[in-house]
Amino acid sequence: MGIVGINSDAPRPPSTPRYGDGSSVTVSSEVLALQLAHRSVRRFTDEDVSEEHVRALVAAAQSAPTSSNLQAWSVVAVRDPARKARLAALAGGQAFVEAAPVLLVWVADLSRARRLAARTGVTVDATDYLESTLIGFVDAALAAQNAVVAAESLGLGSTYVGAIRNHPREVAAELALPYGAVAAFGLALGVPDASEDAGVKPRLPQGAVLHHEQYDAAAADAHLPAYDGHLGAYNKRHGLAGVWTERVLARLAGPASMAGRHTLRQTLADLGLPSR
C-alpha cells in the first residue's frame, strides 16, 4: 500500500468531505474509507447494543498499543438508565449521554498496579509521577479510538464525552472507582438515527498539521483563514455558529471556559494520581 497523500493536481479519486475543500486521498482501503467518513453521533435509535458487541469492542480496544504493556486503563459499561442520567447531569447535562443505549467510561487506571504491588509487598512509587498519569490517559485514548473504529465497522455510532471530567470526584463515586483510577472520558454508543442532521465535519488541512523535518509555524498558520471558511460553511449548513479560530480562543480563554476542569491537577492527586 502506498503512502496517504493529498494531491490537488490532475485527475484523482472522488473527493472526501474530511477537508471540506474538494481534496482527496489518493490511496484507499475499507478501513481508511471508514475513518475518513467518521462523524460524531448524538442521536440514536431505540435498538440496543448487545453484550456481544460490547465485548467485541473491548477486544478491539485491547488490541491497541500500550506503553510497556502496562495496559493502564479500564472501561466501565453503563446501561442503567438512572446511572446514565446521573452521569449525564455531571457531564454538562448533555441529553445524548442519557439517551445512548450504552455509555462506555474509559478510565486511566493505575489502581491495578497498586493492588498488584500491595499483594506482593513491593512499592510502585513511579505511579505517583506525571509520566505514569500520562501513560494511563494515553493508553485509554488509544484503546477507545480502536473501539470507535470497530464500532463504526459494525454499524454503530458514537461521540466522545470529555465533560465526564467536569466532576471527576462525583463520577469516581458513581462508578465506584478505586484509588488510582480516574475517568478520562466517556463514549456514548448506539445505532445512529438516520434522521440526525449531521455530516462529516471538516478538519484542518494537512498543511496546517503536517510538517516535514522541522516545524514551520508560519506555513502552517497560513492555512487557517481558508479553514475558517470551510468550517464556517459546514456550521451554517447545520445551524451552528462561529468559525474554528473563534471557537479555539473562546474554549481556551481561561479557567471560566473550562467547565470546572481548571482544578483537575488537585483532583487527580486526591483520586490517587499525584502526577508530581
Average pLDDT along the chain: 93
Residues 102, 164: Cα–Cα separation, whole Å: 15
The pLDDT confidence band at residue 26, using thresholds 50, 70 and 90, is confident
Residues 275, 268: Cα–Cα separation, whole Å: 8
Q: What is the pLDDT of residues 67-85, one digit of tens each?
A: 999 999 999 999 999 999 9
Nearby residues of 51 by Cβ (< 8 Å), 6 or more positions away = none
Say what the pLDDT of residue 185 is: 98
Q: What is the pLDDT of residues 207-266, one digit of tens each?
A: 999 999 999 999 999 999 999 999 999 999 988 899 999 999 999 999 999 999 999 999
Quick one: cell of 68?
510497556
Say what the pLDDT of residue 14 is: 55
**Mean pLDDT calculated for residue range 144-158:** 97
3-class secondary-structure state, position 150: helix
Quick one: cell of 263?
482544578
Residues 37, 17: Cα–Cα separation, whole Å: 8
Task: Give the ranges where the chain is alpha helix by DSSP (H).
Answer: 30-36, 51-62, 81-90, 95-99, 111-120, 130-153, 168-174, 206-209, 217-221, 224-237, 244-251, 264-270
Quick one: cell of 83?
446511572
Fold of 51-192: NADH Oxidase (3.40.109)
Confirm if 232 and 243 have CB atoms less than 8 A apart: yes
Query: Any bridge partners for residue 74, and if so which?
Result: 107
